[in-house]
Chain A
Amino acid sequence: MKRLRWVAIQMLPIAGALGAAILLATLISVLMGVSPGVLLRTLLSRFGSYAWGQVLFRATFLTFTGLAVALVFQAGLFNIGAEGQAVAGSLACAAAGIVLAGAPPGIALLLCIIAAFAGGAVWGWVPGWLKARFGTHEVINTIMLNFIALAGSNFVMTRCLAQPETVRTAMVRATLPKLETWFGTMRGSAANSSLLIAILAVVAAHYFLHHTPAGLALRAVGRGGPQARMAGIAAGRWSIAAFALGGGCAGLVGTNFVLGYKHYYEDGFTGGIGFLGIAVALVARNEPLGVLPAALLFGFLSESGLLVNTLLPREMVDVLTGAILLVFIASERLRSRRLRGAS
């Protein structure tokens, strides 16, 4: 009974947020002259295997960037730079794939995955190091590094990597199989086995945070800087580590796009998934195990927007995302008060 109540309180914010989103969606559709019933029926009729595949594809992106934000937040820092880290990782991944064109496929694939992680990790390491060494604010640093990454990618592409007349690189030979290989009904969907990498990353991050001395130190720095320092933990080192690990997770976005989907790198493909990662981490309360369902939720939302595109403008999804976050944040306070009351 007590446990049930605890779970109920835990779920309160997300339930409230979803309720508010449904209400708002109804309201908007009525205002736009679309019957909510028609909207729902259209959505249900179009939600087939292909659409579910697309949800998984989007959720894979968001899992990586959500982890990037959550891991860094566990160390008490705010990572606005998942977008730039995703660009750096994907570019590194594609570059590795092109260089390793002649290598055995298995080894090339492995090295490409490592390159994606390393590229993001390097880009994440920079603001972490700046924070630890000079104390400059990580929010400013990561925002600036996003600009640098986007412009830098553009520069590298136009100078050497892009195919003539395009904004994409040559094809990469090392690839991850699509999910349609096993689930035929998902034919045409971009969902691919990088989803497994995402799930592995979630489990590894959870394990790292809650079952290793290093993860304990990282969380200690986040929850109590002075306490950690007095206990003999070098706080700066863990800020750097958190940013590097988070950046690495964001870099793994490359496995989904480059290795799994297009098999090349394309300038500007990220389109805000790094920022949506902040929303994912928030709803997941910065717990890796929560990132996966949160990513699925936002993936579902944006796919739904596309499916009812003929009835309502797809910007409605952005409005709903915003509404979900606002209600969620507001009811988080309510939750913590209730929890205190319950215990």
Chain B
Amino acid sequence: MASGAYASAPDIELEAITRRFGATVANDRIDLHLRPASIHALVGENGAGKSTLMRILFGLLHPDSGRIRVDGIATRFSSPAQALARGIGMIHQHFMLVPAMTVLENIILGADGQRSLRRISYERLSDELSALFASYGFDLSPRARVESLGVGERQRVEIARLLFRGAKLLICDEPTAVLAPPEVAAFFENLRRFRDEGRTIVFITHKLAEVLEIADRVTVLRRGRVVGEMGREEMDRDRLVRMIMGGGEPGAGPGDWTAPPVAGGEAAVLAARDVTCGTGSEPPALEGIDLDLRAGEILGIAGVIGNGQRELGEVISGRRAFSRGRLRWGEHEIGPGGACPRTHRPALIPEDRSSEGLIGSFRLWENLLLGRGTEPACLHPLWYSHRGARSWARPILEKFRVEPLMPDYPADALSGGNQQKVLCAREISRDRPVLVACQPTRGIDLASTRFIHDMLRDYRARGRSVLLISADLDEILELTDRVGVLYRGRLGTPRPRLGLDLDQLGREMVGVSP
């Protein structure tokens, strides 16, 4: 039911697109046909070449060979501005908004006709935008500052920006990674509407359930090549998994794993009482957190990103001071302003592997040594030889299946999934009684995700405890023994995962019910 009021999206054909980065071929003669007014999913492991392909289409990268046809005419985009002029827009994984500016300012930034010295007519634009927001059911105010908005709202600003510029083809790079289940539903509703209005959507994702739910077509990439494409009627979960993984058998899916019952009466290895974290007039990032972590359990903290997860992870792992309450690790208890001694500090897998986890220019073995002082056996108390450190690092990298197995490579030469494995390797191999894992599998491929999940289970099996903070509900349900929901800095009482009411959990995540 394409509406005649909208000019149709361009018909895009990518032909034999090839792009190399040094020795790796990120895109190897890829053909892709994006039909107007359809939702086209693009799936594949990390490093399969999805993002590279889309960056080429958006004019951020140039192909080494191959060409792009727009409505049958060979076209070359040398910058995003040119792509935007042809109605192609991209929503990045990390939003490109200026936090200190208002929604309106962000939307008109760089838009056509706003570059001259003419006065900006805020009144008119504001009305225009309000109408746009209303028509798509976006609960946004043009005058709100972006920094005051949640992640879901920011995403809507990004989308509105593209719509305002008249984009006919929207490239969404893992758009649902940051959304809670109800927000995902609303987002899908909008995608369908965009399609029905004649727009094309390219949807990059790791979640097969989403592909099955919304995509009209799906293209599977593996190692830079197209390994399969199917229409809605042929889609099948197992087939997709096999294509993505390269013919391997699909292993245990979500929900197949049964957690062992929690051992009763286990002493808590970590306890927080009324922990509050915040300063001055701002609402506290964490308020009245009570939690007990028992030996040999994985406690899940579910919730939408931006509800205090980062602060919780840092406070519990002793990296951040808190303003009220008490926190105890083993026998060591501290109050506000206290510092966690090195000997009791839990291991921490931070949220963002590149800006908080690994140092990109450091070699892998250097990254593995970070923060471990003189504890690793390869080190003399005062010095280490590079050779010794390398041979100490190799088996650790091997155990965590890091590829390529090159201790001397800088971390930023690795793909996202492998970087995450290096980070997990460092923290898990510290073998602390408590591991705090924040979003440990965000944005990485299925194989790496499964592997990291196995490592976390193995950690528990050794009688250690894990606090798993994740926005991925599937992950929480698959791994944890108990689940609590974090919403606006408050933590609901954790409940056993077995027999959990999922609808109830979803409502708690958006703060609908007590």
Contact = CB atoms under 8 A, between A and B. Distances in A.
A212 B369 CA distance: 11
Nearest to B375: A213
B379 A213 contact: yes
Given A220-B362, A223-B361, A343-B22, A232 B384 contact: no
Interface in B60-82: none
A231 B345 CA distance: 10
Nearest to B376: A213
Contacts of B374: 213
A185 interface: no
Q: How many of chain A's residues touch chain B, expressed as a range? A: 20 to 34
Contacts of B359: 220, 223-224, 227-228
A212 B383 contact: yes
B337 interface: no
Interface stretch (B280-288, B349-357, B443-451): B349-357
A343 B413 CA distance: 10
Nearest to B370: A231
A217 B370 CA distance: 7
Contacts of B373: 213, 217
Interface in B352-408: 355-362, 366, 369-374, 379, 382-386
A216 B426 CA distance: 15
A213 B369 contact: yes
B370 A216 contact: yes
Interface string B196-226: 0000000000000000000000000000000
B273 interface: no
Contacts of B372: 213, 231
Contacts of A211: 383-386
B379 A232 contact: no
Contact of B366 (A216, A230, A232, A233): A216
Contacts of A207: 383
Contacts of A223: 359, 361-362
**Residue among B319, B371, B374, B379 with most chain A CB within 10 A:** B371
B31 to A, nearest CB: 28
Contacts of B386: 210-211
B348 interface: yes
A226 interface: yes
B19 to A, nearest CB: 15
A219 B362 CA distance: 9
Contact of A226 (B355, B360, B426): B355
A320 to B, nearest CB: 32
Contacts of A233: 370-371
Contacts of A217: 370-371, 373
B119 interface: no
Interface in A219-263: 219-220, 223-224, 226-233
A228 B373 CA distance: 12
A133 B23 CA distance: 46
Q: How many of chain B's residues touch chain A, expressed as a range? A: 20 to 34
B94 interface: no
B342 interface: yes
A322 B79 CA distance: 37
Given A212-B383, A213-B379, A227-B370, A232 B319 contact: yes
B383 A229 contact: no
Contacts of A216: 366, 369-370
Given A220-B362, A220-B370, A343-B22, A230 B384 contact: no
Given A211-B384, A216-B369, A216-B370, A230 B361 contact: no
Contacts of A231: 370-372, 426
A230 B369 CA distance: 13
A229 B366 CA distance: 15
A223 B366 CA distance: 12
Interface in B327-353: 342, 345, 348, 350
A230 B359 CA distance: 11
Given A211-B383, A232-B319, A343-B22, A227 B357 contact: yes
Given A212-B382, A213-B384, A343-B22, A228 B370 contact: yes
Contacts of B370: 216-217, 220, 227-228, 231, 233
A213 B379 CA distance: 8
A228 B371 contact: yes
Nearest to A229: B319
**Residue among A217, A224, A228, A229 with most chain B CB within 10 A:** A224
Given A213-B384, A220-B370, A224-B359, A230 B350 contact: yes
**Residue among B370, B383, B426 with most chain A CB within 10 A:** B370
B383 A232 contact: no
Contacts of B362: 219-220, 223-224
A294 to B, nearest CB: 21
Nearest to B22: A343
A232 B385 contact: no
A229 B350 CA distance: 10
A116 B485 CA distance: 59
Nearest to B373: A213
Contacts of A213: 369, 372-374, 379, 384
Nearest to A208: B383
A217 B367 CA distance: 10
Nearest to A210: B386
Nearest to A212: B383
A231 B384 CA distance: 19
Nearest to B382: A212
B371 A212 contact: no
Nearest to A233: B371
A232 B342 contact: yes
4 shortest A-B CB distances, which residue pairs?
A231-B371, A224-B359, A232-B371, A231-B370
25 contacts: A211-B386, A212-B382, A212-B383, A213-B374, A219-B362, A220-B359, A220-B362, A220-B366, A223-B361, A223-B362, A224-B355, A227-B355, A227-B358, A227-B359, A228-B359, A228-B370, A230-B319, A230-B348, A230-B350, A231-B370, A231-B372, A231-B426, A232-B319, A232-B345, A233-B370
Interface of B: 22, 314, 319, 342, 345, 348, 350, 355-362, 366, 369-374, 379, 382-386, 426
